[in-house]
Chain A
Amino acid sequence: MAKREWIYGWLFLSPALIFLFTFTHYPAVNTIISSFFSTPKGRRPAKFIGPENYQALIEDEVFWTVLENNFWFAVGTIPTSILLALAMALWVNSQLKGRTLARMAYFAPTVLPLIAVANIWLFFYTPGFGLIDQLRGGLFNLPASNLLGNPDTVLAAMIVVAIWKEAGFFMIFYLAALQSIPPVLKEAADVEGASNFYYLRRIVIPLLMPTTLFISVNAVINSFRLVDHIFVMTDGGPNNASSLLLFYIYETAFQYWQTGYAATLTVVMLILLSILAIGQFFLFDRKIHYR
């Protein structure tokens, strides 16, 4: 019986495992192997070149620019969108007037394709013509701005777009967690005469910690994964000021066809993702109150 059980187990599992290994584990391992080989060209197959790709990586200025951009993109989007998501969830979960409409407004960007979002915001940012310049010109009489054409402002402009797209999504998770907090706690706090702010700070936020961990892991992954908007808005420019790591991988592999080097870049991405995921786990572990 027990023996038959595990044959069935494997039988049910195998179709999914075949696809999972073919398109996730095999390519992940192969990425690491490819990063030590040159790019195959025409009839010349890839040949082993040791750490040469990694040496090129260290000397590649674009790589460091892109990495720095990705860092600032993550720093710019993650805390802000988590804080906004928490505020949104608290408001929507309260009894304030108009909360249904607010929930709709907060969540709508989540169902839009990022590529559509980028189109909408591109129009917003259009120099001299988009809504932002209309407001600047109309209200403050300022000259036309070119937020996307200026290396100093382009990344900030992209961060705003990412926050707009993501915050409503994270709100949902907080909303779910808030609804699972027993109302008795609020009553007890009221009886003790605790202020709303005290209740929020000492009871609600600690109870939300597991959700915050979940959201922040998601947010970190997203800060590497979301690059669709770059294609529409800037193509990485000006002067790579808005290029992110995954976009650079795409460019290297599918525009310059340097697949060996692209594999090396992907390895960097895999390492960063692992470190961040593990790091977050340990960072939050001490602050989480499991029930």
Chain B
Amino acid sequence: MTETTVNTVNKKNLGRRFEFKFDFDTVLNTFAMWLLAFLWALPLLYAIWTAFHPAAYETRFELFAPLTLDNFVKAWNAAPFARYFLNTFLLVTLILTSQFVLCTLAAFAFARFKFPGRNILFTLVLLQLLVMPDILIVENYKTIRQLGLVDTIVAIGLPYIASGFGIFLLRQTFMTVPSELDDAARVEGVSFLGLLLKVYVPLAKPTYLAYGLVSVSHHWNNFLWPLIITNSVETRPVTVGLSVFAAIDAGVEWSVINAATLMTSGPLLIAFLLFQRQFVQSFMRAGIR
């Protein structure tokens, strides 16, 4: 709420100031901003160009070069991408739901209850921000093997479902819930679980959205751990599938590889273009607190 007021004030001010600012400084800054934006967009635009044109136009830039979807069809048929997408979808859903449940419960405990060992345990949770499962691949592989879960989708998700980041984020949000609300619900005889579900969770909706977007994009894109723990088509997520596909360098055309690359990042990229504002705000919200 305060943010919006600040923003409106900000805009008004900037608007006023802007009238006097058609100077060298502005021109130079605009030019630099555009140049960097162009450089930043270039690799992606180039990939899009090659993916939508016949292989002959990979390095020939003609405005009216024929457009085609052949590369996507070829890529789709050359590897079991449908299955890879299903795997990633299952994986991301599994991780997100488990994270929501576990992190909500833990965050509620940290925010609402006083119990011995709370500070030490919270420090241990925060430690995961530094020592992530991403770098403990050797020992986690041993654990998963002992559990007999190697080459399953569950195994890809397990190390990530108790997320220190998620607990921290939700705890910070839960701490802002006014104690009056809490007391009122308790007086009415609501149980702790009811309190959590009826008061705390609804108030934290923006945090859930933010954390959800960050988590989905992170696990959609994750590669090293899935590469280690999977070794069959039935479990591989799209990132690993893409690397397997691109590694067969027996003359797969670049345009086809680029089509596959765009295809695997496509859902996230399209979602990003559609919900750009929410995405940026979510990442911001997830980052600053």
How many A-B pairs with Cβ below 8 Å?
A: 295
Question: When the two chains form their complex, are residues A17 and B43 in contact, meaning their CB atoms are under 8 A apart?
Answer: no
Contact digits for A126-140, partner B, Cβ 8 Å, 1 yes 0 no: 100101001000000
Binds A, one of B63-71, B106-114, B201-209: B106-114
Chain B residues numbered 43-57 whose CB sits less than 8 Å from any CB in chain A: 43-44, 46-47, 50
- CB-nearest residue of chain B relative to A10? B115
Residues of chain B within 8 A of A87, CB atoms compared:
32, 36
- CB-nearest residue of chain B relative to A262? B138
Known A-B contacts A123-B50, A274-B130; the reply to A24 vs B284 at CB < 8 A is no
**In this assembly, does A157 line the interface, its C-beta being within 8 Å of a C-beta of chain B?**
no
Question: When the two chains form their complex, are residues B128 and A20 in contact, meaning their CB atoms are under 8 A apart?
Answer: yes
**In this assembly, does A95 line the interface, its C-beta being within 8 Å of a C-beta of chain B?**
yes
Complex formed: what's the CA distance from A23 to B6 in Å? Answer: 43
Question: When the two chains form their complex, are residues A129 and B59 in contact, meaning their CB atoms are under 8 A apart?
Answer: yes
**In this assembly, does A30 line the interface, its C-beta being within 8 Å of a C-beta of chain B?**
yes
Residues of chain B within 8 A of A224, CB atoms compared:
135
**In this assembly, does A152 line the interface, its C-beta being within 8 Å of a C-beta of chain B?**
no
Residue of B47, B228, B264 with most partner-chain A CB within 10 A: B47
Question: When the two chains form their complex, are residues A111 and B265 in contact, meaning their CB atoms are under 8 A apart?
Answer: yes
Known A-B contacts A13-B105, A173-B287; the reply to A250 vs B113 at CB < 8 A is no
Residues of chain B within 8 A of A26, CB atoms compared:
139, 143
**In this assembly, does B94 line the interface, its C-beta being within 8 Å of a C-beta of chain A?**
no
Complex formed: what's the CA distance from A204 to B82 in Å? Answer: 49
Question: When the two chains form their complex, are residues B105 and A111 in contact, meaning their CB atoms are under 8 A apart?
Answer: no
Known A-B contacts A8-B192, A183-B6; the reply to A112 vs B246 at CB < 8 A is no
**In this assembly, does B10 line the interface, its C-beta being within 8 Å of a C-beta of chain A?**
yes
**In this assembly, does A53 line the interface, its C-beta being within 8 Å of a C-beta of chain B?**
no
Contact digits for A2-39, partner B, Cβ 8 Å, 1 yes 0 no: 10011111111101111110111111101100100000
Residues of chain B within 8 A of A114, CB atoms compared:
221, 223
Known A-B contacts A120-B47, A179-B3; the reply to A28 vs B136 at CB < 8 A is yes
Residues of chain B within 8 A of A111, CB atoms compared:
217, 221, 265, 268-269, 271-272, 279
Chain A nearest CB from B162 CB (Å) reads 4
**In this assembly, does B158 line the interface, its C-beta being within 8 Å of a C-beta of chain A?**
yes
Question: When the two chains form their complex, are residues B138 and A112 in contact, meaning their CB atoms are under 8 A apart?
Answer: no
**In this assembly, does B1 line the interface, its C-beta being within 8 Å of a C-beta of chain A?**
no
Question: When the two chains form their complex, are residues A98 and B221 in contact, meaning their CB atoms are under 8 A apart?
Answer: no
Question: When the two chains form their complex, are residues B264 and A20 in contact, meaning their CB atoms are under 8 A apart?
Answer: no
Question: When the two chains form their complex, are residues B287 and A123 in contact, meaning their CB atoms are under 8 A apart?
Answer: no
Contact digits for B256-273, partner A, Cβ 8 Å, 1 yes 0 no: 011001101100110111
Question: When the two chains form their complex, are residues B131 and A20 in contact, meaning their CB atoms are under 8 A apart?
Answer: no
Chain A nearest CB from B22 CB (Å) reads 11
Known A-B contacts A112-B221, A246-B135, A254-B228; the reply to A179 vs B6 at CB < 8 A is yes
Contact digits for B205-226, partner A, Cβ 8 Å, 1 yes 0 no: 0000000000001001101100
User: Interface majority SS on B: helix, strand, loop or mixed?
Assistant: helix
Question: When the two chains form their complex, are residues B44 and A17 in contact, meaning their CB atoms are under 8 A apart?
Answer: no
Complex formed: what's the CA distance from A106 to B37 in Å? Answer: 6
Question: When the two chains form their complex, are residues A23 and B33 in contact, meaning their CB atoms are under 8 A apart?
Answer: no
Residue of A15, A116, A177, A254 with most partner-chain B CB within 10 A: A116
Question: When the two chains form their complex, are residues B134 and A225 in contact, meaning their CB atoms are under 8 A apart?
Answer: yes
Complex formed: what's the CA distance from A168 to B220 in Å? Answer: 18
Find B13's partner among A9, A91, A176, A183 (CB 8 Å cutoff): A183
**In this assembly, does B153 line the interface, its C-beta being within 8 Å of a C-beta of chain A?**
no
Find B135's partner among A11, A186, A232, A269 (CB 8 Å cutoff): A269
Question: When the two chains form their complex, are residues A113 and B239 in contact, meaning their CB atoms are under 8 A apart?
Answer: yes
Residues of chain A within 8 A of B135, CB atoms compared:
224-225, 246, 249, 266, 269-270, 273
**In this assembly, does A144 line the interface, its C-beta being within 8 Å of a C-beta of chain B?**
no
Complex formed: what's the CA distance from A116 to B245 in Å? Answer: 12
Chain A nearest CB from B119 CB (Å) reads 12
Question: When the two chains form their complex, are residues B159 and A105 in contact, meaning their CB atoms are under 8 A apart?
Answer: no
Residues of chain A within 8 A of B271, CB atoms compared:
111
Residues of chain B within 8 A of A186, CB atoms compared:
13
**In this assembly, does B118 line the interface, its C-beta being within 8 Å of a C-beta of chain A?**
yes
What are 25 A-B contacts defined by CB distance under 8 Å? A7-B115, A10-B109, A10-B115, A13-B105, A13-B106, A17-B162, A25-B127, A94-B14, A94-B29, A96-B30, A98-B37, A101-B37, A103-B280, A109-B43, A112-B268, A112-B269, A113-B221, A115-B242, A116-B262, A168-B40, A176-B288, A232-B246, A253-B138, A254-B228, A266-B135
Residue numbers of A with Cβ under 8 A of B are: 2, 5-13, 15-20, 22-28, 30-31, 34, 84, 87-88, 91-92, 94-99, 101-117, 119-121, 123-124, 126, 129, 131, 134, 164, 168-169, 172-173, 175-177, 179-180, 182-183, 186-187, 190, 196, 211, 214, 221, 224-225, 227-228, 231-232, 246, 249-250, 253-254, 259, 262-263, 266, 269-270, 273-274, 277
